[in-house]
Amino acid sequence: MEHHYADMGDVRLHYVTAGQGFPVVLMHGWPQSWYEWRLVMPGLAERFRVIAPDLRGLGDSSRPADGYDKKTVAGDIWRLVHDVLGIDRFNLVGHDWGGPVAYALAAAHPDAVRRLAILDVTIPGDGSPNISQGGRRWHHALHQTLDLPEALVSGREDIYLGWFYRSYGARPDVIAETDIAEYLRVYRQPGALRAGFSYYRAIPRDIADNAAIAAGFKLPMPVLALGGDRSWGRRMEVVESLRRLAVDVQGGMIENCGHWMPEEQPVELLARLLGFFGEAERS
């Protein structure tokens, strides 16, 4: 795996690459970074050119004061992949907040995205009543509160973020302590907490942006939608969400898996992705 930086003016993106072949772009969620793909990337890289960026404000990318609506974040990834790397067509995978970013990118550039995979997240503005499961995902409201979560969590990242790492999986140890330490490294950096919470503060704009798209458009490319079947996994919500937004959706649930799919079930996820992307190569 090779690490790179791309300075694009308003944001400087860190990204990791591996392999050769048709491009696959992997987009992470919160509170994680490109590092969540470390167990899946080697297998994908045997057949594909894999690109895993740190999203705006997260990981080792820069932390602008604004621009955390998913349309803007998707624009960052498009500029990286298309303008910097010169790639015109690619497969796209998004987990957690990377999923709505992937949707925004695929909706803006449908001819560029050959196949799209969305992992354990629903899309704001898909027509469903509430992406927060009626308040069950309590942290959505907390994170949207201005300034308060930063004040509560700063200096206590290991306690607060650690709760998610240990509670959102099918088992409390699905993310090893050494890997939690890597996530804490980047979320302890100046501005990282604010940037992460800003992804949630942009939810009202994301809902409006996506509802406007969905009013007259459905994604034309094949979509793979997968949810974890345990703990805080989204189960069949992912398929249901994407079927409101795309014409060709397959998928379901990954067994014995909570929310941290690329780390909990990397072998099964890799098999699903290789099979899904391989369909395009065989057609």
**CATH label of the domain that carries residue 78:** 3.40.50.1820
Instruction: Note the pTM of the prediction, 2 decimals.
Output: 0.97
The pLDDT value recorded for residue 131 is 86
Question: By C-alpha distance, which of 182, 139, 135, 145 is closest to 163?
Answer: 139
Closest of 255, 264, 256 to residue 165, by C-alpha:
264
Contact (Cβ atoms closer than 8 angstroms) between residue 238 and residue 225: yes
Closest Cα to residue 35, out of 10, 55, 5, 57? Answer: 55
Pairing of strands 48-53, 12-18: antiparallel
Structure tokens that stand for 203 in this block: 């939810």
**What is the rounded CA–CA span in Å between residue 202 and residue 217?**
22
Whole-number Cα distances in Å, 113 to 78, 133, 186, 203, 219: 11, 29, 29, 24, 10
- Render each residue's pLDDT in the chain as its tens digit; 283 residues: 999 999 999 999 999 999 999 999 999 999 999 999 999 999 999 999 999 999 999 999 999 999 999 999 999 999 999 999 999 999 999 999 999 999 999 999 999 999 999 999 999 999 887 788 888 999 999 999 999 999 999 999 999 999 999 999 999 999 999 999 999 999 999 999 999 999 999 999 999 999 999 998 999 999 999 999 999 999 999 999 999 999 999 999 999 999 999 999 999 999 999 999 997 666 6
- What was the pLDDT predicted at 283? 60
Domain that holds residue 80: 2-282
**Residue 96 annotated in active site:** yes
Number of domains in the chain: 1
Residues 14, 95, 109, 259: which is the catalytic one?
Answer: 259
Question: Of 96, 120, 179, 206, which residue is the catalytic one?
Answer: 96
Q: One of 15, 35, 103, 200 is an active-site residue; which one?
A: 200
Mark whether 259 is an active-site residue. Answer: yes
